Structure 1
Amino acid sequence: MSGVISGFTVIFIVVALGYVLGRTGSLGEHAAAVLARTVFFVCTPALLIHSLATSDLSAIFSSTLVVASASAVAVGAVYALIAWFWLRRAVPEIVIGALSSSYVNSVNLGLPIAIFVLDDASFIAPLLLFQIVFYSPVALATLDLTALSAERRTSTLRTVTTPLKNPILVGGVIGLIVSVAGWHPPQAVMEPLDMLGQASVPLALLTFGLTLTGVTVFKKGQSPRRDVALAAAMKVVAMPLVAYALARWGFGMTGHRLFAQVVIAALPTAQNVLVYATRYRRGEVLARDSALITTLLSIPVIALIAATLA
């Protein structure tokens, strides 16, 4: 338990530093965007290449992948049914809401928590790959077919293949290929990857702290409060419970593996959802408010999980 507390303390200190830097404007008004792109295009791909190339593939294609993906799909589907039959929302808003309830922040918070709290980055890799390879393409294809006018609608092939150009996915694929081939790249290649990969976590935490400044959420008359409340409840309560049930009784997991699965499921909504909502101009406030509220709620939820399962 002391290791968990220590890990969270490290994370909170760096996030708090990012928040202070954002409030004071020390890094300029575009700092969050620049750091986020650095993490997305450079550091995280390097981290994935190095981690996967030096890890056991059985840790990736395992029950961890099944539990993480199945819990996300199940929770997203339940949200969609409730939003369709009870809230009477249009399909694009349902897609954004379903993603808000089940698409995990696997980079900005997932990787730091996996490294500092779970002490193993490989726990987050299966979910990260699932979201980029499967979840994003399906969601984007649905939004492309329902949210855009005929003039702006792109081909289904382009919609599906665009996420495959994601640098994080490319890094993951390269790492997997190297691992499958059993090749050991020279130290001169691995050292820079390791160095850049180690910068991913602190930069992601600073970026997250920067994004917390100057944001007003759940504003009356602007925020779809019922949708946000439903998405938040599904994300930080239902998804960890589903993951626990699948891991504990479906695969017989106990101890640290069970703890890791539930913690990963309790991670907040990814900022990717807001990017998708902005791209299609549907459900933007829902995505933004869900991301921030689930982030705030996930802190006590993960602490409770740690107190009971760690």
Structure 2
Amino acid sequence: MPPIVHALIPVIVLISCGYLAGHWRWVGEQGLKDIAKLAFNLLAPALLFRTLSQVHLSELDLGPVILYHSLTALWLTLWVAVHGFTHRGCIRALGATYSNAVMIGIPLVSLAFGPPGLVYMLTLVSLHALTILTYATVLFELAAAREARLQNAQDQVSLWLTAARAAKSALLHPVSLPSFLGLIFAQTGLALPELIDKPMDWLGRAFSPLALIMVGIQLQHVLSKGLPWGQRATQPSDPHHLDVRAVLGMVVLKNLFHPLLILVAASLMGVGDMPLVVMLVTACMPVGANVFLFATRYRVGEAEVSLSLSLSVLVAMVTVPGLMALQPTVTQWLRP
């Protein structure tokens, strides 16, 4: 069985389980909201803190990491500018950017490249959430502050006060705060006591499966209403609003053009073969489940994200092996 298929099948199974749970009415819309709060406010912080509490910056090869995350942040910024500096624009841009690097990327690299590739993969993944999700959090909070300021223009709220409120919200966010605290804790050289580490490990392990099951439940809710091809059945302000063209755009950008950006830039910069391949694999991964958690937290684009995530997983079965086959030719042509 090809490594990409081997890595993607568990993801498809979990999304399918969620779909069946929604079909059998085990979880309704209110229940899905409650589960999302649990995942975002309890499970995700445990995963982020514990992962980053084991990252020692002095031991990392930061060159490929800095290049990958700089390009990805620029890619995210570009599509926020294209879609508009609103919550919906931010969620569509994040869907075109953020990879499912943990659940799919790590098993795939481990199977295909063994320990040498896994070292680079873990280096990338260890800072993936800290950099991209923290930056996304800042964008979402600034967009929220901007929208609130525009709606209450008569109050003449200071731009600096608006920025300060957004920065505070971003810093105390359940993604940013545990990430920073975990990274700071790691640099002390201390280890978490087992009585704390073990429960956090259990909580963190529950996050990814639960997030994918939630995607399946939301997908069932979306598909049960039918796909509005070429029309808009709901208002854009509705979190269940679905623009299929926007969904397809997210999938194409995430599965094809984001990896091509990383491949071309890394080749031009002369990145070594193994880190370049791992960077490409990370960028090739389908839309990450964390994007859906952002959609549920900010109540925007839930239907679009759940559909794009599911389609992205299926499309990855074609694009990942295709781009991996293309990589040696592109690198040989572009490398200085």
Shorter-chain TM-score: which interval?
0.7 to 0.9
The structure 2 residue matched to 1:168, chosen from 155, 158, 175, is 175
How far off is 1:162 after superposition?
Answer: 0.6
Q: Which position in structure 2 is the counterpart of 1:159? A: 166
SS at match of 1:13: helix
How far off is 1:62 after superposition?
Answer: 4.8
Change (3 A) 1:235 1:19: same
Distance 2:200 2:297 in 1: 29
Contact 1:47–1:193 (CA under 8 A) maintained in structure 2: yes
Give the total of aligned pairs. Answer: 294
Q: Which position in structure 2 is the counterpart of 1:271? A: 292
- Aligned amino acid, residue 24 of structure 2: T
Q: Where does the alignment leave 5 or more consecutive residues of structure 1 unmatched?
A: 84-90, 279-283
How far off is 1:21 after superposition?
Answer: 0.8
How far off is 1:194 after superposition?
Answer: 1.3
Distance 1:204 1:227 in 2: 22
Q: Which position in structure 2 is the counterpart of 1:113? A: 104
Q: Which position in structure 2 is the counterpart of 1:74? A: 75
Change (3 A) 1:40 1:9: same
Taking every aligned residue pair, what percent have the same amino acid on both sides?
Answer: 18
Change (3 A) 1:266 1:9: closer
SS at match of 2:230: coil
Contact 1:55–1:179 (CA under 8 A) maintained in structure 2: yes
Contact 1:75–1:101 (CA under 8 A) maintained in structure 2: yes
1:301 lines up with 2:316 in the alignment = yes
Contact 1:100–1:273 (CA under 8 A) maintained in structure 2: no
Structure 2 matches for 1:1-310, cutoff 5 A? 2-57=2-57, 58-59=59-60, 62-74=63-75, 76-77=77-78, 80=81, 91-92=84-85, 96-97=88-89, 99-103=91-95, 109-119=100-110, 123-146=124-147, 148-150=150-152, 155-215=162-222, 216-222=226-232, 230-250=249-269, 252-255=271-274, 258-264=277-283, 266-268=285-287, 270-271=291-292, 274-275=295-296, 278=299, 288-289=303-304, 292-293=307-308, 295-301=310-316, 303-306=318-321, 308-309=323-324
CA offsets 1:189-233 (integer angstroms, 9 cap, x no match): 211111221212221221121111121445433165665554543
Moved more, 2-11 or 237-246: 2-11
Change (3 A) 1:65 1:34: farther
How far off is 1:19 after superposition?
Answer: 1.0
- Aligned amino acid, residue 230 of structure 2: K
Could you say what the CA RMSD is over the residues aligned between the two structures, in angstroms?
3.5
Contact 1:248–1:258 (CA under 8 A) maintained in structure 2: no
Contact 1:259–1:309 (CA under 8 A) maintained in structure 2: no
Change (3 A) 1:92 1:209: same
Normalising by structure 1, what TM-score? Answer: 0.77
Contact 1:218–1:225 (CA under 8 A) maintained in structure 2: yes
How far off is 1:121 after superposition?
Answer: 5.5
Distance 2:68 2:213 in 1: 30
Contact 1:132–1:169 (CA under 8 A) maintained in structure 2: yes
Change (3 A) 1:210 1:251: farther
Distance 2:270 2:94 in 1: 21
CA offsets 1:74-96 (integer angstroms, 9 cap, x no match): 35426735x6xxxxxxx445x73
Change (3 A) 1:226 1:79: farther
How far off is 1:118 after superposition?
Answer: 3.9
Greater Rg over alpha carbons, structure? 2
- Aligned amino acid, residue 234 of structure 1: L
SS at match of 1:221: coil
Q: Which position in structure 1 is the counterpart of 2:115? A: none
Distance 2:303 2:203 in 1: 29
Distance 2:69 2:44 in 1: 20
Distance 1:304 1:232 in 2: 11
Distance 1:28 1:228 in 2: 23
Distance 2:276 2:267 in 1: 10
Change (3 A) 1:69 1:135: farther
Change (3 A) 1:118 1:200: farther
